[in-house]
Amino acid sequence: MSDVPAGLETLDFSFSGGRPAGTFSPVLVGVVGSGNLEVMLEPAVGRDCIVRVETSARGFGSIWRAVMNDFHGRHPLAGVRVSINDMGATPAVVSLRLDQAVAEIKGGRT
Element (H, E) at 90: none
Query: Which of the two residues, 63 and 88, has the higher pLDDT score?
Result: 63
Count CA within 13 A, CB hemisphere, residue 46.
11
Contact partners, residue 25, CB within 8 Å, separation at least 6 = none
Q: What is the pTM of this model?
A: 0.88
Distances (CA, A) of 82 to 1, 5, 14, 79, 107: 33, 25, 10, 10, 17
The predicted structure's pLDDT at residue 52 = 98
Report the residue count for the chain.
110
Topology of the domain comprising 9-105? Ribosomal Protein S5; domain 2 (3.30.230)
Burial of residue 58, with CB atoms counted within 10 A of its CB: 0-12 exposed, 13-18 middle, 19 or more buried: middle
Chain segment 10-28, per-residue pLDDT in tens: 999 999 988 999 899 999 9
